[in-house]
Amino acid sequence: MVRTRTPIPFESGASLPQRLLDLLFPPRCVHCGRMGESLCAVCRATIQPPRGPRCERCDRSLGAAPGPRCGLCLARASATGQVALARIIVATDYAGAARSAIRALKFRRQRRLAQPLGRLLTEALRRAEAPPDLVIPMPLHATRRRERGYNQAALLARPVARALGLPLVEDALARVRATLPQTQLHRADRRANVAGAFALTESVAARALAGKRILLVDDVTTTGATLEAAAEALLAARPAAIYALAVARPSLDAWPDSAEPPDR
């Protein structure tokens, strides 16, 4: 059940010490440099849902294809006979202010950006009408988690779970195998790279997920191969359905040759 709540102001999740620090050192917008907020209202307003006809399963632009599913979803279903992920919901394109905010969250330790980006995710989920029962962030491999000091997907999943009043299960999945960055690989190699990379953790009884509609949360998805690999690991818990929600998707045309991969 998706409940409606009174909107909370951006960055209201900031702690008291953080708010004091903000007074001493006012944040700057990571996209335009304006003083006051880490993502200003003007830049937030430019972040819009992807436009045009989209694939009913993965939210990718259909372009000139007839639909209702895109070529990648059709190819995956015919190659494997089944897909673990029922839906992939994407809040916006990986461009402009959204791209600046995601990169600052991941690579410049600007954790507070999880608040405005989390609101984007919540709004996208409400539009998509795919109501989950619980929320699971995509895990980082332990080495990467140590290097960064936090898992950006967990930071994003928290405001979503809070806004929807849903349980957040942060330790349900583990990334058991380090993988090459997906963005360095061509499309055909990406599935093989992430196959078997995830596992259900023992600390979470599979029972807790059985019969539930699970929402996986991540920052960026391109082909959806990483999300699908995580969903395949969750299938062992026999959930009712698995959805995925990501902040942004880069245009496939720009990948994997882009100079700036939104690497994990």
What is the smallest separation between the CB atom of 54 and Zn ion, expressed in angstroms? 8
> Which listed range, 32-40, 125-133, 174-182, 206-214, lies at the site for Zn ion (CB under 5 A)?
32-40
> Which listed range, 5-13, 71-79, 185-193, 204-212, lies at the site for Zn ion (CB under 5 A)?
71-79
State which residue, 40 or 233, has the beta carbon closest to Zn ion.
40
Our finding on whether 73 is near Zn ion (CB under 5 A) is yes
State which residue, 58 or 114, has the beta carbon closest to Zn ion.
58
> Which listed range, 41-49, 150-158, 159-167, 168-176, lies at the site for Zn ion (CB under 5 A)?
41-49
Our finding on whether 90 is near Zn ion (CB under 5 A) is no
Our finding on whether 249 is near Zn ion (CB under 5 A) is no
Our finding on whether 31 is near Zn ion (CB under 5 A) is yes
State which residue, 164 or 255, has the beta carbon closest to Zn ion.
255
* Inter-residue contact 59 to 50 (CB < 8 Å): yes
Q: How many residues bind Zn ion (CB under 5 A)?
A: 12
Our finding on whether 85 is near Zn ion (CB under 5 A) is no
Using alpha carbons, select from 244, 226, 234, 245 the residue that is nearest to residue 209. Answer: 234
Our finding on whether 106 is near Zn ion (CB under 5 A) is no
Our finding on whether 30 is near Zn ion (CB under 5 A) is no
What is the smallest separation between the CB atom of 86 and Zn ion, expressed in angstroms? 12
Our finding on whether 227 is near Zn ion (CB under 5 A) is no
Give the residue carrying structure tokens 């100079």.
259
Our finding on whether 191 is near Zn ion (CB under 5 A) is no
Q: 3-state SS string over the chain?
A: CCCCCCCCCCCCCCCHHHHHHHHHCCCECCCCCCECCCCCHHHHHHCCCCCCCECCCCCCECCCCCCCCCHHHHHHHHHHCCCCCCEEEEEEECCHHHHHHHHHHHHCCCHHHHHHHHHHHHHHHHHHCCCCCEEEECCCCHHHHHHHCCCHHHHHHHHHHHHHCCCECCCCEEECCCCCCHHHCCHHHHHHHHCCCEEECCCCCHHHCCCCEEEEEEEECCCCHHHHHHHHHHHHHCCCEEEEEEEEECCHHHCCCCCCCCCC
State which residue, 55 or 134, has the beta carbon closest to Zn ion.
55
Please state, in angstroms and rounded to a whole number, the distance separating the CA atoms of residues 54 and 35: 36
Our finding on whether 43 is near Zn ion (CB under 5 A) is yes
State which residue, 73 or 174, has the beta carbon closest to Zn ion.
73
State which residue, 32 or 142, has the beta carbon closest to Zn ion.
32
Burial 146-168 (b: 16+ CB within 10 A, else e): eeeeebbbbbbbbbbbbbbebeb
Among the listed residues 27, 29, 153, 264, the single contact to Zn ion using CB under 5 A: 29
What is the smallest separation between the CB atom of 202 and Zn ion, expressed in angstroms? 33
Which residues of this chain interact with Zn ion, rule CB under 5 A? Answer: 29, 31-32, 34, 40, 43, 55, 57-58, 60, 70, 73
